[in-house]
Structure 1
């Protein structure tokens, strides 16, 4: 799916420089960064839910009845 990403000038300049250093496209780097963020965020949310389920198992069981 197509998407236009508008970056502040300073971020675009930093991304352009990083892409040149790594000999990669700005798109590749942006996709990787988004993927890393989403993966880390999903793992954090999953871990938080598991912790709540474990710590409040008794309460959740009572509420489910």
Structure 2
């Protein structure tokens, strides 16, 4: 796996929030940022999985849902 470098410009408030989190969690600011990205990506994937499952249920049970709605 090759590491990539990405420059992020933060406002003073964002920088302070990142620094505060890093201090509170006894982590580096880089680790906190990387963890935040991983958590956001995971949440997005989970949202997509739930959406797909719901679409499948609605398609499969469309007749039942139609009758319940009456």
Aligned residue pairs total 59
Q: Which runs of 4+ in 1 moved over 6 A?
A: none
1:20 paired residue number:
23
Alignment of 1:1-65 (within 5 A): 1-57=4-60
Deviation of 1:23 (Å): 2.1
TM normalised by structure 1 equals: 0.77
* Cα RMSD, aligned residues only: 1.7
Q: TM (normalized to structure 2)?
A: 0.72
5+ long unaligned stretches in structure 1: 60-65
